[in-house]
Amino acid sequence: MFYLLVMSALLGLGLTKEESRAARLADVLEPRLAANAIRIHTLSEQIAKLKEKIHEAEKFDPMTIFHGFDDRVSDLEGTHCDDERQFQCGGHSRQCISDLLVCDGKRDCHDGQDEDEDVCSMEPLEAGNVYTGNAHWTACAPLPDQPTKLRIIATKRPKFFKARVYVQAIITVTNTVDNKTVDEDIEVKGSYNFGRRRLFLKRSADNVPAGKHRLVNVCFFHKTDHKLLECGLLLEGSRTECAKQHFSLEEHEDEDEKDDHKDDHKDD
């Protein structure tokens, strides 16, 4: 009996020591586990943010950014052509040709740049394209900035003169009158010059109020991003710039009158 009591006491003492060791071990491990859990959570958040940044970066084409910088450098350097109505073929040769020869169906540049698919793209002029922006007045009239839309209605590219595209459009200007917004639609017509990426638009003389000068829009598409358009609003006679307009392609409206988009550049 005494032997059993002694053995029980010893076993109890042993269990107590094991439990004590386990408790001490837990005291050491639990803070470490908690610290590791915090580190893992922090790393998970950082990984999630990196994934988000990578996802956002996928929206930007590196070549587009590169070409954008290249365009800025080219604008600073100039074309080195003798006439602004000439088209520089690019490359190291600095060859210049008349803009009348650009996108006419025949290669006139040594490198064929004048017939390049991107240079001759009709995509910016598709009927239904809507460009939105603002007109910032700098002269001619003390007007506040005006929200403005440019909607392409129809285009026609004559077979006998492929270097130009005739364009019909509607410019919608939003004005504030008596604390109310009023939209004014202005029908304009003009032409697009592939060689200069230049869009020229003006309203008909019948739509010009008596005693007022006719305004014209002289616009240039971005060389590598056809969704961007910068315009100057000028007095037709003196060519005084009254306002600057910055547009970007907002949407493409599908219209029922698809026949209005007459692209005659294809051969029969």
pLDDT tens, position by position, 174-209: 887 778 888 888 899 999 999 999 999 998 766 666
| CA 77/CA 178 separation, integer angstroms | 48
Interval 114-124 mean pLDDT: 92
Q: For residue 225, tell me if it sits in a domain.
A: yes
The predicted structure's pLDDT at residue 38 = 73
- Asked whether residue 182 is assigned to any structural domain, the reply reads yes
Least confident of 63-77, 186-200, 221-235: 63-77
Q: Are residues 233 and 116 in the same domain?
A: no
Calpha distance 147→247 (Å, rounded): 10
pLDDT at 104: 92
- At 82 the pLDDT is 82
112 lies in which domain range? Answer: 83-120
pLDDT at position 263 over 50: no
Residue 214 has pLDDT above 70, yes or no: yes
- How high is the mean pLDDT of the chain? 78
Residue 254 has pLDDT above 80, yes or no: no
* Domain match, 126 and 234 both: yes
In a domain? residue 55: no
Cα 81 versus chain centre, distance: 28
- Rounded mean pLDDT of 22-46? 69
pLDDT at 218 over 90: yes
The answer to whether the CB of 170 falls within 8 A of the CB of 185 is: yes
Amino acid identity of residue 150, one-letter, is L
Q: How many CB atoms lie within 10 A of CB 15?
A: 10
Domain shared by 244 and 126, yes or no: yes
- pLDDT given at position 260: 46
pLDDT band at 265 (very low <50, low <70, confident <90, very high): very low
For the cut 60, the answer to whether the pLDDT of residue 237 exceeds it is: yes
Cα distances from 23 to residues 14, 15, 20, 34, 233, in angstroms, run 14, 12, 5, 16, 82
What does the pLDDT read at residue 267? Answer: 43
Model pLDDT, residue 171 = 92
Q: Is 102 exposed, middle or buried (0-12, 13-18, 19+ CB in 10 A)?
A: buried
Q: What is the pLDDT of residue 77?
A: 58
The yes-or-no verdict on residue 98 having pLDDT over 90 is yes
In a 3-state reduction of DSSP, which class is residue 130? strand
Overall size of the chain counted in residues: 268
Residue 111 belongs to domain with CATH number: 4.10.400.10
| 155 pLDDT more than 90 | yes
Same domain for 152 and 228, yes or no, is yes
The Cα 163–Cα 157 span in angstroms is 8
pLDDT(221) > 70: yes
| 86-90, 130-134, 238-242, 256-260: least confident range | 256-260
* Structure confidence at residue 157 (pLDDT): 94
- Whether 255 is in a domain gets the answer no
Q: How many CA atoms lie within 13 A of 72 on its CB side?
A: 5
Q: What is the mean pLDDT of residues 70-97?
A: 74
10 inside domain? no
> 163 and 216 share a domain?
yes
- Domain count along the chain: 2
Whether 220 and 101 share a structural domain = no
Query: Which of 120, 139, 169 is the endpoint of a domain?
Result: 120
Asked whether residue 3 is domain-assigned, the answer is no
Task: Please say if the pLDDT value at position 258 is more than 60.
Answer: no
Of 58 and 15, which is predicted with more confidence? 58
Calculate Rg over the CA atoms of the chain. 35
**What is the SS3 assignment for 136?**
strand
**pLDDT computed for residue 259 by the predictor:** 46
For residues 105 and 141, membership in a common domain is answered with no
0.75 cut: is pTM over it? no
Distance between CA atoms of residues 234 and 214, nearest Å: 8
Residues 113, 231: contact at Cβ < 8 Å? no
Is the domain of 197 the same as that of 242?
yes
